[in-house]
Amino acid sequence: MGGVHPDDNKIARECPIEVLPLPDTVYVSMAQHLGAPAKPVVAVGDSVKAGQVIAEPAGFISAFVHSPVSGTVKSIAPRKDLAGNPQIHVEIKVEGDEWAEGIDLSKDLVTSIPDDRNAMLDRIKACGVVGLGGATFPTHVKLNPAPGKVAECLIINGAECEPFLTSDYRVMLERPKEIVVGAAIMQKILGGCRCVIAIEENKPQAVKVMSEAVSSLGYAGIKVSVLKKKYPQGGEKQLIDAVMKRQVKSGGLPIDAGAVVQNVSTALAVYEAVQKNRPLVTNVLTVTGENVPANMQHNYLFRIGIPLSFIIDHAGGIPEIAGKIVSGGPMMGKAVSNIEATTVKGSSSVLYLSEEMTRRKEASQCIRCGRCADACPMGLEPFLLNRLAKADDMAALEENAVQDCIECGCCLYSCPANIPLLDRIRIAKGQVMGIIKSRNIKK
Amino acid sequence: MTSTIIWTIVVLAGLGLLLALVLFFVARKFKVEEDPRIDEVEKVMPGANCGGCGFAGCRAFADAAVKAPNLDNNFCPVGGNEVMKKVAAILGYEIAEKVPQVAVVRCNGSCANRPVVNEYDGLQSCRVKAALYSGDTGCPYGCLGCGDCVAACQFGAISMDPQTGLPAVDDSKCTACGACAKACPKHIIELRNKGPRSMRVFVSCVNKDKGAVARKACMAACIGCGKCAKVCPHEAITVADNVAYIDFTKCKLCKKCVAECPTGAIHAVNFPVLPKKTETKEASNE
């Protein structure tokens, strides 16, 4: 249902993953995951090693944070994040590159999977693994469905439907076997359900490499599936629809439809956590943009806590065409208002977009053409929601399922009148979700 | 022809009469007994239906006031003490007078004081802007300047000052209903005591950043130095999270803090200009 077809612009797809060098100082955010920000457990002046725990989860939905480098803790203070809002960051001065004990840094593939399900879950939690597809939801919570809910299918998301981004694609090409082992681990944790690695049809090379990895490793019940190219094919609910031909009911979770969706990079992180005891302190991001010189296009393996300005300088500075810098894809990514902000676990890109491409055009009247309703992958009516949001009609908004909006931006993209549909709908969604939550608490 | 017209009139008039009779008896039979005082109270209410009292409108307030055992928790900020006296007289309660309040915008990040560091071209709404990011200046706490408070005010008391880019409150029109304070996503607007002849002193900043950071983002930011707290003889000023706050119930309007503040973040408004002393900081009501 719905969806739009922007140019895929995967310009950096042929750039192999390079290891980004370390800056002098890193600033590790305590709010790198969905849920409560982590609580620092180190003090100023402590010396830490790479992979050592520096913050504990502060709630059920929260995650451990580890030091990405070895060095000395210089400060624990608020610092502005990507959006300019202050968050607690742990500042670490980099000294050498020494890793904590018990972490296997070798590149050898470990294919035998441990038997103890709970021990594996604990390891994933202890290594601070969160979903790397964008939402950064703690993985151990998602892999441990509530009692009574059974996972029938594990979907490994290799769709990467956002234009420009190539980090997941490169990870699939360069670490296919690790991803498959990671998928098999999660499959075992979920009780041996079937597993589908879903890849969009515009990545034939990745489909080939992943299929080869699956057949060479020979785990039972894993297969690669090719999906149509459209945005947002990689949305959780869209993937479940495409792979399992099932729809998640309004207000429900994927597990209600018997599905668990994890990103390919998350599968890699799970592999490294369980088989190598290696905490999640690295990820891959793409530096790219249209009309950006070829020598400025990169895929970097970065450590968390590195300022974006350092990455930009290392990649060759801000290109002339850049009118806006975005972190994440062009559809759902966030504009970077502060390039001193640092990388987090879920960082996926530094994207340069031209002013012409991003400048908002003046909005005119809605002509009820219905293109937004056609484009909405959740089957909502954005023009109606926009009107109700303007009138602050919360009851009608809830009736029209504003809470099911996935904020993909298809409505805004398709609107010929340039109406800022998503802006208003997002706010209304937040308000309605708040009302629903407080009502559930009262019950 | 004429008979058609006559018949039409007769039939319609007859129908009207019949239905009127039905309505009359139904209205008598199903009459809801309501306390007549509710109507009386509603009559003396301002009729703005602004919701400043916490009820859905003036009638809802009247209903609650009649049912409540006393008037301690019910107060109409728009009508103020005058209206409340009338309400108390109708209901036979006694009330303590409340000090009149006014909305105060606690941000002085004008275009001159606070440089713009990035450009926002999205929907002109503070709520939308705040949900996206911290704003187009270096200060993540200050006014976003899209005027949600102006839209929320039903009394036309707030307007955007084109020179400063900040909302300005018209004391004479403000009824302290608090709609603007609720609409502001940055919680800059506070209801404070109006003060004698509208004279009041307040810290016009809510920036919680450390001094150097705050000052870099805005020339007029409170840097949390605490000089004002030290000089205050009435212990009205507290400094928490790098920002000073003046408790309006303790402030005696001595203005010692105004002179002490190194960044001019403390504002004294509506004080008469003394003939000899030239104080430039006052008079502007931002």
Which of B212, B89, B82, B186 shows the shortest CA–CA distance to B134? B186
Q: How many CB pairs under 8 A join A and B?
A: 49
pLDDT of residue B283: 45
Q: What is the DSSP letter of A200?
A: E
pLDDT of residue B275: 66
- Bridge partner list, A335: A326
Of B54 and A140, which is predicted with more confidence? Answer: A140
pLDDT per residue over B139-151, tens digit each?
Answer: 999 999 999 999 9
Report how far residue B9's alpha carbon sits from residue B17's, in angstroms, rounded to the nearest whole number. 12
Test A423 with B128 for CB contact under 8 angstroms. Answer: yes
Asked whether residue B277 carries a pLDDT value surpassing 50, the answer given is: no
Which of A314, A286, A310, A308 shows the shortest CA–CA distance to A299? A286
Is residue A115 within 8 A of residue A48, CB to CB? The reply is: no
**CB-closest option in A85, A424, A427 to B134:** A85
| Chain A residues close to B216, C-beta within 8 Å | none
Test B123 with A359 for CB contact under 8 angstroms. Answer: no
Average pLDDT taken over every residue of chain A:
94
CA distance A377 to chain B (A): 22
**CB-closest option in A80, A337, A427 to B131:** A427
Test B134 with A423 for CB contact under 8 angstroms. Answer: no
pLDDT-derived band at B279 (thresholds 50, 70, 90) equals: very low
- ipTM (interface pTM): 0.87
pLDDT of residue B53: 86
pLDDT per residue over A116-150, tens digit each?
Answer: 999 999 999 999 999 998 889 999 999 999 888 99
CA distance A142 to chain B (A): 26
pLDDT per residue over A389-439, tens digit each?
Answer: 999 899 999 999 999 999 999 999 999 999 999 999 999 999 999 999 999
pLDDT of residue B276: 57
Three-point CA angle A61, A67, A70, nearest 5°: 175
Residues within 8 A of B (CB atoms), A 314-373 only: 334-335, 337, 359-360
Residue that has been written with the tokens 């959780």 in this structure? A236
In the chain, the amino acid numbered B149 is: C
Handedness of CA A257, A427, A57, A264 (dihedral sign): positive
Report how far residue A416's alpha carbon sits from residue A383's, in angstroms, rounded to the nearest whole number. 12
Least-confidence region, from A26-30, A202-206, B30-34, B243-247: B30-34
pLDDT per residue over A252-280, tens digit each?
Answer: 899 999 999 999 999 999 999 999 999 99
pLDDT of residue B71: 83
In chain B, which residue's Cα lies nearest the Cα of A430?
Answer: B131
pLDDT-derived band at B51 (thresholds 50, 70, 90) equals: confident
Handedness of CA B153, B158, B159, B164 (dihedral sign): negative
Is residue A165 within 8 A of residue A348, CB to CB? The reply is: yes
Report how far residue A423's alpha carbon sits from residue A409's, in angstroms, rounded to the nearest whole number. 9
pLDDT of residue A40: 95
pLDDT of residue B78: 86
Asked whether residue A241 carries a pLDDT value surpassing 90, the answer given is: yes
In chain A, which residue's Cα lies nearest the Cα of B119?
Answer: A337
Is residue A232 within 8 A of residue A161, CB to CB? The reply is: yes
Mean pLDDT of A210-232: 94
CB neighbour list of residue A231: distance below 8 Å, 6 or more residues apart: A3, A4, A5, A6, A161, A162, A163, A331, A408, A410
SS3 A229: coil
CB neighbour list of residue B226: distance below 8 Å, 6 or more residues apart: B239, B244
The tokens for B273 are 């200009």
Is residue B139 within 8 A of residue B221, CB to CB? The reply is: yes
pLDDT of residue B75: 86
pLDDT per residue over A321-350, tens digit each?
Answer: 999 999 999 999 999 999 999 999 999 999
pLDDT of residue A79: 92
Letter string b/e over residues A154-178, b meaning 16 or more CB atoms within 10 A of that residue's CB? bbbbbbbbbbbbbbbbbbbbbbbbb
CB neighbour list of residue A159: distance below 8 Å, 6 or more residues apart: A198, A199, A200, A227, A233, A234, A239
CA distance B47 to chain A (A): 22
pLDDT per residue over B105-130, tens digit each?
Answer: 999 999 889 999 888 988 899 999 99
pLDDT per residue over B228-257, tens digit each?
Answer: 999 999 999 999 999 999 999 999 999 999
pLDDT of residue B67: 87
CA distance B238 to chain A (A): 22
Asked whether residue B92 carries a pLDDT value surpassing 60, the answer given is: yes
Asked whether residue B281 carries a pLDDT value surpassing 70, the answer given is: no
- The percent of residues in chain B predicted with pLDDT above 70, rounded, is 95
Residue that has been written with the tokens 């809910």 in this structure? A149
Residue that has been written with the tokens 């035998």 in this structure? A112
Is residue A402 within 8 A of residue A434, CB to CB? The reply is: no
> Rounded to 10 degrees, what is the CA torsion of A144, A148, A153, A154?
-10
